[in-house]
Each structure stands twice: as C-alpha cells, then as structure tokens.
Amino acid sequence: MNKKFMIGLFAIYTLATSAGTAWGWDGDQQLGQQLDEIVVTAQRPASQPLNAVTLSAEALDLRRHATSDTADLLRNVPGVWLQGAGGISSLPVIHGLADERVRTQVDGMSLMAACPNHMNPALSYIDPSQVGRINVYAGITPVSVGGDGLGGTIQIESATPVFAAPGQGNLVSGQVGAFYRSNGNVLGSYLETSWANEKLNLTYTGSAVSADNYKAGGDFKPSGPAASDRGWIAGNEVGSSAFEAINQSLGIAYREDAHLFTAKVDVQNIPYEGFPNQRMDMTENNNALVNLGYTGQYEWGLLEARGYYQKTRHEMQFGDDKQYYYGDPATIPGMPMDTKANLTGVVVSADIDLSEGDILRVGGELQYYRLDDWWPPSGGNMAPNTFENINNGQRDRYALFGEWEANLDPQWVSLFGMRHETVKMNTGDVHGYAETNGMGMMVNNQLIDSSNFNSQDRNKTDRNLDLTALLRYTPDLTQTYEFGLARKTRSPNLYERYTWSTWAMAAVMNNFVGDGNGYIGNLDLEPEVAHTVSFTLDWHSQDRRWEFKATPYYTRVTDYIDAMRCTDGASCTEANATTTDQFVVLQYLNQPARLYGIDLYGQMPLAKTNWGHFGLNGVLNYTNGKNLDTDDGLYNVMPLNATLILTHQHGGWNNALELVLVHRKDDVSEVRNEIKTPGYGLLNLRGSYSWKQARVDFGIENLFDKLYYLPTGGAYTGQGRTMAINGIPWGIAVPGKGRSVYTAVSFKF
C-alpha cells in the first residue's frame, strides 16, 4: 500500500476519532464539564545567561506546520542560519560555525551524526510537532551548558510532563493534527496523548510525514532522465529532495514532593531521505534512544542527573534520481554504504545555593561513542573486500566543570566558569575493496593508502580547556548591558581524523558540508580553540512591548579545521588550488581563522485598532569569516541577511507577513570552489485561527514563486552520475523552494 496514502489514512482516523472531544461535542450533547486549571511551578534561575534566547511552544506554533525540519524552527533567532541538507536534516549555523561546531542537545542528550555525510544530525531525531521549548546560546555559552563546541549551544526540549492537580483525579489529555504542503506534496500527521494523576504521567507521541521532490521557483537546469519508473526530472524539480519519516516516543514521569524521575524511549524509522547536495541518499535510518532523568530540589540547591543510550543503524545508496545512470537497479547493486553507531552518556550537575545571590554549579559528563562505517562491494573490480571507511571508531569524552554565578547587587550579575574535557579517539586497521587486481597490481592506490594508515599511531588524546566570563549591568528597568569572554575547544570528529583513502571516488563519499568535493582525514589534526569576545546592548520598555538588541562579536580560532587541495591518488598541498570550475579532492588541516559580525533584533507595536493589534519585529545578521593563512573565505558563511515581520492579532487570529532579504554571496571559499549566489527577497504569509481546543493554520511560502539559490545549501548533485567526481556538472547551487501553500488542523482534548 502506498505510504503516503497510509499516512493520510492515519491522519483522517486520528482526527475523526478525536474531533468530538476536541470540539466539545459527544454525539448530540455538548460537554459542559471543564478541567480545572493546572499550575506548574519551577525554580527560576537567578539570571538569564548571556545571549540566551528561549522559544516557547506558543512562539513556535505559527511556524511549526510550515516545515518538517526541526532546525528550521530556529531560522529567525539572531545569529542563526541553516546549512542545507535533506528535508528533515538541516544543520544549524551560529555566527558562521556549523554542524558539530555547534553543541546540539535533545532532551539533555548531546547527540552526534553517524554518517560520513552527516545525514542524521541531532535535530533530525525530533519532529517539529514534539518540540516544547528551544534554548539558543549564540556565541558565549556557559560551561555548564556543554562543551566540545565553538559557536554556541542549542537545546531542544520536548513538552514537559503535566500532572493532575490535587484532588482532580485522573487527567487524560492530548493533541492530534494533520497538515499538507503543496510544494513537494507533503502530507503528515501527529498524535500526542497522556494519562496522569498527581504523581504519575504516561505519554505517547507519534508523527509521520511523507514528501516528494520539491520544485524551485523556475528552471535552474535542463530537464533530464531519472529512474525508468520516474521518467524525466523537470527543469524546476530538485532531484533527491523527497523524504519519509516516522517518529514514536513513549515516556513515563513520576514525581514525589520535590523529586522528578523521567524515562523515555524514542524510536525513529526513515525509509528514505534524498539529499540534493550529496552523492548518495539515505535509504534507511533506524534509531532507538533511551533517556533516563532525575531532578531533585534540596535545601542546599538543585541536583540533576541524566543517563542515555542511542543505537543507530544507517544505510546509504543511490536513490531513484541518481540510480538511472548505473543501469537496472535489479541487476546493478549501485554502491551500498552502511554505518552503525552506539552512544552512551551520563551527565550529573548540581546548583548549590551559596547565599541568596550566589550559585555554584558543578558537574561532570561521560560520553562513549562507537562507530563502524563500511561499504560492501557492488560489482566491477570492487570484490571481494568490503571497504572499511572507519573500523571500530572510538570517541570518548570525560568532562568536569565548575561555574560561579553571583548577584553582586541589584544592578550587577557575573558568571565565571571553567570546564576541562579529555577526548580519547582511536580506530582499527582498514582496507579497501580489491586492493590489487589479478596480476598483483594496485587498484586506485588503496593498498598504499591503507598500509600507510595502518602503520601509524591512531590513538589520540586531547585535553581541552573551556573558560567563560560574563558580566551583566542593569542600570534601570529599560536598559541592560552584557560583556562576555570565552575560550571554547572542539576536538575533530572521527571522519575528520580517520578517513584515509585518497581515491577520488571514496573521498567524495566523505563529505558533510555538501559542496560536492571529496575529503580525506588527517591523523595530525589538533583540536580547534576559539577565543570569543562579545557585547550586548539591550534597550527596551519596562514591559518589553518594544525592544532593541545589538550584539557585535569577534572570534579568533586557533587550529581551525579547514582544507587543502589534493589530486586523485596523490599527496596534498596547500598550493594546489588552481582549478576554479570543477569539484576537487581536499584534505583537512589546521589553519588560523577569524570571524566577526553583528546581530540586531528589534520589535515594536504599530497600532491598536478595532481590527486588532499590529506590530513589527525584525532580525539582521552579518558575519565575515576568513582563513588567516590563505586569506580565503571560510566555507558556508551566510551573507548579510534580514527578516522583517509584520504581525497581527485579533481575537483568535494570529497572522504574519514576513519579508526575507539576503545579500548576494561573493565572499566564498576558493579552495573548495564554493559557488557564488545572487541576492534575493522572499515574501511569506502565515496565519492561524484558534478556538478553545482547535486550531487551523495556513500560509504561503515564497508568495511570488521566486527562483533563488541557497547561500549555504551547497552544490547541486541531486541527479545524474554522482559516483565520479567529474560525472556531474559543477556550478549549480541548490535552489530554494518555490511557492508552497500549506494548511494544518489540530485538536486538543
């Protein structure tokens, strides 16, 4: 049975079975009984850390149904942009630092991608419908929030469990919804239901979504053939952009006085996700997460503990839009790539109340990561060996931190922290496919590469130190000033250190930046160390009906992991950067870099009329990144961009008119032959109407169906002969989505 039909059937069923309760009707009788008000209380932190932005569930609702990519919910946060990937797997960028340079946590778990193309990043493991709150620390990040990152920290939290009020009895609640988006024929649904009494909460959530390839705002390439059962890909169709995903979660929470215990199991299955900026597509991703948590309030302060385990099985292969050029999929196996990973983590922290205004935070973190990445032979000269990309990769972290927050007086708050991490990495011996032919001759330099790699010491230990200091001054109720300094450290990941083959076909399969190039690891990489200084000016009315914030920042990175050119099967050199119009092979190396920029944010009321309240808010971001050795631009740095939003609220109506403006991108990474993109402007309409228990959302993305190219979307490799490095045209950036009309309906019960 067609999967899209099954998703639609599930949506219709859940809506139909819940509509009566949601609208307050039971047969012909209207329900008059209402639930008592529930008040949930929690300890408020002594102060908000520097540059922390919190997005509540209500703030996310207007955008939640316009996307299936949780990272996309961050798009209007100052300093944040996205690096393009698959339909549910974009990578967040903060101040020009992307992917694993940003520490990402989901329900307290620091998750990592288990894929040479980073197709399954942390934020892909939670559906937008399940997100309850988002905390973003752009730039300066307190050491208690996390380490092993440079640009900032993103914390995604699912909805907090709700318990029945004293004497209320059993509480049954939930929400069900469905949505449709025209561009890509996206159909999805979700369900949340919980049962609770005063001490116990049981919650189930589930979501399903399916999408076809999306269309750009015009032809960006000639039309071309796809798999035999798909015919031709039109000139405006973005190949390899379809996806399917199913997420399910079962949680239990128990509270006793000031103690809360939680246990949660998350299961995800992605049958298929195409990647228009990668040589491969994801043909299966199965993930299981177990997350145990404890929070306890004591006389001396707050104690929190968490333990989690993740098991991932990941498969890649040519999807339909790429398979055509290799013949009949029934007889030619393509190029299978397999990954499995296990992640175990423990985090313990305590907030100790030293005095009424002072808090000492101490804690530790352990994380054990194991990864195997292998590519079975698929015909030709590959047999009999399996290509071992990473064999028994190990990356373990041991961290301790201490942080002192002091309220010096009503006007001054300070925060000082130190975090030490030991990162241990290792991997086993490797080998290629058929390293020699029948006459004993080497094939594609694999034997030399594997022998060189196996003969070297691969056991690496990094000892990393993070320091954070910030000072906040509040002279009165209408202005705040914050100053921060930080030293942040990130050790290389397994793919940056341990991928070993100089063969171009193997190298292009190790690419998590989406630029179409091939990448080779480097055993001699040192950890990246970033020193950041920032200042925040915050002017506002006492009730914050209007406000203006400006945050300039400067970051200097020692041993930034950039890249140098190589030739197929040969050594690499920093000087080999002469070709400008093709994909290339690169090797990671450490070089100094610097980034600077400014984030602006403002909001203000415009008018209060009989037609409702009108307001205006906006964000402007500018980042400049440079390699100080080569004077080259850093890769995937977003150009100057701004978003202006005209808001309207009246009764149950909540509407927005959004203008997105992006400057042309001409400051690029020349060593990577990064593609320049023209500037553009987009207009989006969003609206919703809410009743007591029901809500309808609707909108139009890219109202004027403009053709534009994503400045951080990478190179288009979504169709054609993707195995060979020069088998597809160079110079086409991945285009953004054309006009899309969306609608959604949800019911609470």
Q: Got the DSSP string for 522-554?
A: -TTPPPEEEEEEEEEEEEE-TT-SSEEEEEEEE
Percent with pLDDT over 90 in the chain: 78
The Cα–Cα gap between 325 and 317 comes to 13
The Cα–Cα gap between 95 and 152 comes to 9
Containing H/E element for 169? none
Name the pLDDT band for 378 (thresholds 50, 70, 90): confident
CB 62 within 8 A of CB 76: no
Lowest-pLDDT choice from 112-121, 304-313, 613-622, 725-734: 725-734
* Amino acid 41: pLDDT: 39
Structure tokens at 86: 């698959």
* Amino acid 21: pLDDT: 31
* Amino acid 38: pLDDT: 37
CB 626 within 8 A of CB 506: no
Beta bridge partners of 715: 733
The Cα–Cα gap between 418 and 396 comes to 20
- Pairing mode, if any, of strands 200-211 and 653-662? unpaired
Query: What burial letters (b/e) apply to 528-562, b meaning 16+ CB within 10 Å?
Result: bbbebbbebebebeeeeeebebbbebebbbbbbbb
The Cα–Cα gap between 87 and 267 comes to 19
Name the pLDDT band for 252 (thresholds 50, 70, 90): very high
Containing H/E element for 272? strand 259-273
Decide if pLDDT at 530 tops 60.
yes
CB 467 within 8 A of CB 417: yes
* Amino acid 49: pLDDT: 57
The Cα–Cα gap between 177 and 18 comes to 10
DSSP string, 576-639: -----SS--EEEEEEEEEEEEEEEEEEEEEEEEETTEEEEEEEEEEEEEEEETTT-PBPTT---
* Amino acid 40: pLDDT: 40
pLDDT tens per residue, range 682-732: 999 999 999 999 999 999 999 999 999 999 999 999 987 776 666 677 899
DSSP 730: S
Decide if pLDDT at 542 tops 60.
yes
Phi/psi region, residue 169 (left: phi>0; alpha: psi -120 to 50; beta: rest), is left
